[in-house]
Amino acid sequence: MFLILSKVLDLFLAPLTWVLLLLVVGAVVLRRKPRLSRGLTFAGLLVLYLFSTDAVSTLLTYLAESGARDTSKPGVTYDAVIVLGGGLDPAATERSGRIEFNGASERVLKGFELVREGRASHVFISGGSLDPRPEAVVEADVLSRLLQEWGVPAERIVTEGRSRNTRENALESERIIRERGWKRLLLVTSAAHMPRAAGCFAAVGLRPDTLPVDARMPATRPGRLSWVPRASSLSQSTDVLRELAGRVVYRLRGWTTQ
């Protein structure tokens, strides 16, 4: 039930959804209340404009990524680097028959790099599927095969393909980590996702070092941020709003310490 509600919440957290609702309501009340209709239409267009600008999307990204900290220790060989799922596009992978990534592919790339350099004895991939079909693409299994193709021995790869969200990532990981007796752990996920992920792991008794990747904060100075609307900025604003809302929901449910 929570997964279904989270998808509904995702829909209503999108600025584009707000715009469409404002425009639809404005059209409905047009004949009876033309002034209100014009106000709603203007509000909808203003929302669309603001969340489509680099200035607003950058501010939101700063709020999301400001809590991400690199606490990895260069001189330590970790028992496992924990790579959280979310970098694969399951639908595209199923359609093409090839591995198709989204914008968060740095997660698995960093895990591969750490194992290749000898900084981690194992790479532990946590990520299942929201698709209930038996033949659905399971991210952990796909990435395990990919790492083996890249030369990582199968015995150094551990997977769990049951988790469907960050809370379940932490729960399933804790079980496997406890069974294997791993102590030195490094968590890898996107910078915007790291505060919630680290909080979820802390809530189940795990406090791994953290290595955020996939950072989206630009190097541009605040005064030079663009106010020209772009579709890419609207997409980034939408993604960050969902992450920030996810933190609030997780805190309310007691699933994260951050």
Q: Is the dihedral of CA 129, 133, 137, 138 positive or negative?
A: positive
Does residue 43 contact residue 35 with C-beta atoms inside 8 Å?
Answer: no
Over residues 117-129, mean pLDDT: 97
Q: Is the pLDDT of residue 11 over 90?
A: no
If residue 119 lies in a helix (H) or strand (E), which one and from where to where?
none
Over residues 154-172, mean pLDDT: 97
Q: Is the pLDDT of residue 56 over 70?
A: yes
One-letter amino acid of 59 = L
Rounded Cα distance between 178 and 258, Å, is 23
Number of Cα atoms under 13 Å in the Cβ half of residue 184: 13
Confidence category of residue 225, pLDDT binned at 50, 70, 90: confident
One-letter amino acid of 256 = T
Task: Write down the mean pLDDT value for the chain.
Answer: 93
- pLDDT value at position 257? 85
Confidence category of residue 134, pLDDT binned at 50, 70, 90: confident
Q: Mind giving me the DSSP string for 36-95? A: HHHHHHHHHHHHHHHHTBHHHHHHHHHHHHTT------TT--BSEEEEES-SB-HHHHHH
pTM for the structure as a whole: 0.92
Confidence category of residue 12, pLDDT binned at 50, 70, 90: confident
Does residue 192 contact residue 223 with C-beta atoms inside 8 Å?
Answer: no
Lowest-confidence region among 40-49, 119-128, 211-220? 211-220
